[in-house]
Amino acid sequence: MSDVVLSLQKLHKRFGALQATNDVSLDLQQGEIHALIGPNGAGKSTLIGQIAGNIRPDEGRVFLADTEITGMSIAQRARLGLGRSFQVSSLAEPLSVMRNVMMGVQALQSHSFRFWKPVARDQQLLEPAYEALERMQLSHRAWTPVFELSHGERRQVEVACALALKPRALLLDEPMAGLGPEGTAKLTELLEALKREVPILLIEHDMEAVFRLADRISVLVSGSVIAQGDSQTIRQDPHVREAYLGDSDA
């Protein structure tokens, strides 16, 4: 089982009367894109929160490779190699792209209690950040302030920020949201190239992108995983068609 990079084991989370996560187990393996889909209110955000660390599960455990991360803070998980992007862009708008990406490099290299050396001349920070940007084909925008970027470019920067951590697993929360067809096509291409190095847990609404990218798909409905399999299986699963695609004819 050394291929499993990220695994969720029997996660439960309840908010008052709402069972937001109900016995969810899934894993992410080396070299794959595993897509998590589900209608609005299916509990995707809660599940992501439990993986990323801003929500504690009531029961169950989360592992990154062989390390249990269930009780760890967001920052600890990130340093161990869990990169994530947000549904709503969460970059520091006034800063340059480079400054945003450099943060992850800095976290990896040391604690941040270095008070003297200016970061602007710190090749140890600049080079890896630049590399991450190149992989997202954004190095030409390195010194542009984030607020000048297009929506699609921000999406790419988000992924580059996650890549700067040299992550073992990527957690991408609706990276295609709000992108036009062109942007979606570009990001799809980039993610496809990326997955060989870093497996991706992809939460996405754009079904076309999901069916094209995902090696495996899990369907979350009302907090439970109701189906899992490759895109062919999921397309034909009657439960999925009924519950998720709203296809009452099935």
Looking at this protein, which amino acid is placed at residue 97? Answer: V
DSSP 106: H
Closer to other proteins by CB, 74 or 250: give it. 74
Query: If we measure between CA atoms, which residue out of 213, 97, 92, 68 comes closest to residue 163?
Result: 97
For the record, the structure tokens of 242 come out as 């009924």
Are 249 and 46 within 8 A, CB to CB?
Answer: no
Closer to other proteins by CB, 26 or 103: give it. 103
For the record, the structure tokens of 212 come out as 């094209």
Closer to other proteins by CB, 48 or 234: give it. 48
- What is the longest distance spanned by two Cα atoms in the chain? 67
Q: How remote is the C-alpha of 25 from its chain's centroid?
A: 17
Closer to other proteins by CB, 130 or 244: give it. 130
Q: Quote the least distance from Cβ 110 to other proteins, whole Å.
A: 8
Closer to other proteins by CB, 76 or 232: give it. 76
Looking at this protein, which amino acid is placed at residue 24? Answer: V
* Pairs from 183-186 (Cβ < 8 Å, separation ≥ 24): 183/151, 183/152, 183/155, 184/208, 184/209, 186/152
Q: Quote the least distance from Cβ 88 to other proteins, whole Å.
A: 10
Q: Quote the least distance from Cβ 143 to other proteins, whole Å.
A: 6
Looking at this protein, which amino acid is placed at residue 115? Answer: F
104: three-class secondary structure by DSSP: helix
**How many CA atoms are closer than 13 Å to the CA of 41, on its beta-carbon side?**
3
Closer to other proteins by CB, 51 or 227: give it. 51
Closer to other proteins by CB, 28 or 160: give it. 160
**Binding stretches for other proteins (CB under 8 A):** 52, 73-76, 78-79, 84, 86, 90-95, 98-100, 102-104, 106-108, 110, 112-123, 125-127, 130, 134-135, 137, 139-140, 142-143, 145, 161-162, 164-165, 190, 193, 196-197
168: three-class secondary structure by DSSP: coil
Please provide residue 116's backbone torsions phi and psi, each rounded to the nearest 5 degrees. Answer: -110, -55
For the record, the structure tokens of 168 come out as 């073992």
Q: Quote the least distance from Cβ 117 to other proteins, whole Å.
A: 6
Q: Quote the least distance from Cβ 97 to other proteins, whole Å.
A: 11
Q: Quote the least distance from Cβ 72 to other proteins, whole Å.
A: 11
Q: Quote the least distance from Cβ 174 to other proteins, whole Å.
A: 15
